[in-house]
């Protein structure tokens, strides 16, 4: 009923998972991750608590093959499908004998693709190829490319409804860094993978301070702010002033600008209103 990909970025050590399915809010059910511990995919008719148990096993020092082997011998999990990846890039997966066809998994170097109730036998090979072809690109983009390739090959036999993308650090979380690099979900959509990619692009714009993009695609109430920031970046003082004057027309924004005048991102902008 679901197809997913887990992988480790050899350059950064980050760990991630992307998943799509024709169920509501697949991001709530399939992916589990813990910075510095690992990433787990739990799908088909798996017990809901299995993902947490597998992460606990990784944290206790058990290897992915050992954890998967133990789950494979558990009678109550005959219909489950799991994949486990640790920060060292060790990976293991298993498709229970009761999983619905077309089902299976393919292991790669620090990666695994898996799915059940797939539209064709081509879904998993297509995902694996796309993941490999993306070598050198950022891990979230590689995971999304694999997901899109799986969907293009047929994806979930029943159709499309939700998708999720979760990437964490290969190092443990700290007080300064929670270790979560990307956590995006599309819970109900006619084209969830495309929607997830749009969210990924929007997050990249926030992370990279791509104000030109944010001026177009951020929520309507904030677009004037990003238009002003974009204008400052390109040295267009008149456009920045016009955008800020438009902001002053929104209730409460003048007070907010005054409060944020010391912020280095806004200092040059707010000075235009003085």
Give the start-to-end residue ranges of the domains of the chain: 2-208, 211-273
21 with 130: CB under 8 angstroms?
A: no
Distance, in Å, from the CA atom of 76 to the CA atom of 166, rounded to the nearest integer, reads 28
42-66 average pLDDT score: 92
Distance, in Å, from the CA atom of 151 to the CA atom of 3, rounded to the nearest integer, reads 9
- Other C-beta atoms closer than 10 Å to the C-beta of 130 total 22
Is pTM beyond 0.85? Reply is yes
pLDDT of residue 269: 62
18-38 average pLDDT score: 97
Q: Give me 41's structure tokens.
A: 């995919």
Spell out where the chain has E strands.
2-8, 15-21, 31-34, 38-44, 80-85, 91-95, 104-108, 111-116, 162-168, 180-186
Strands of 38-44's sheet in order across: 31-34, 38-44, 80-85, 91-95
Distance, in Å, from the CA atom of 89 to the CA atom of 83, rounded to the nearest integer, reads 12
Q: Which of 198, 159, 128, 140 is nearest to 15 (CA)?
A: 140
Q: Right CATH number for 2-208 from 3.40.50.720, 3.60.20.10, 3.40.605.10, 3.30.70.20?
A: 3.60.20.10
pLDDT, greater one: 91 or 78: 91
Average pLDDT of the chain, as a whole number: 91
Hey, which of 18-22, 217-221, 256-260 has the most confident mean pLDDT? 18-22
């Amino acid at each position: 009923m679901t197809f997913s990909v887990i992988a480790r970025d050899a350059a950064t050590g980050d760990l991630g998972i992307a998943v799509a399915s024709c169920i509501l809010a697949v991001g709530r059910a399939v992916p589990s991750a813990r910075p510095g511990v690992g990433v787990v995919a739990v799908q088909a008719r798996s017990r809901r608590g299995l993902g947490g148990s597998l992460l606990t096993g990784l944290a206790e020092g058990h290897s992915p093959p050992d954890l998967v082997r133990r789950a494979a011998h558990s009678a109550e999990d005959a219909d489950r499908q799991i994949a486990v990846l640790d920060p060292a890039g060790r990976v293991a997966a298993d498709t229970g004998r009761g999983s619905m066809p077309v089902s299976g998994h393919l292991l790669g170097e620090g990666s695994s693709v898996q799915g059940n109730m797939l539209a064709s036998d081509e879904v998993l090979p297509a995902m694996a190829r796309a993941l490999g072809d993306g070598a050198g690109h950022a891990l979230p983009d590689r995971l999304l490319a694999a997901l899109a390739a799986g969907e293009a090959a047929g994806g979930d036999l029943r159709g499309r409804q939700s998708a999720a993308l979760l990437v964490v650090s290969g190092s443990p979380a700290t007080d300064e860094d929670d270790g979560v690099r990307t956590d995006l979900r599309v819970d109900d959509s006619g084209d969830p993978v495309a929607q997830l990619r749009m969210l990924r692009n929007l997050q990249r714009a926030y992370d990279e301070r791509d104000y030109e993009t944010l001026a177009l695609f951020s929520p309507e109430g904030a677009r004037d702010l990003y238009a002003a920031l974009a204008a400052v970046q390109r040295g267009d003082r008149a456009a920045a002033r016009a955008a800020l004057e438009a902001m002053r027309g929104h209730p409460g924004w003048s007070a907010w600008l005054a409060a944020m005048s010391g912020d280095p991102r806004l200092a040059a902008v707010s000075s235009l209103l003085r």
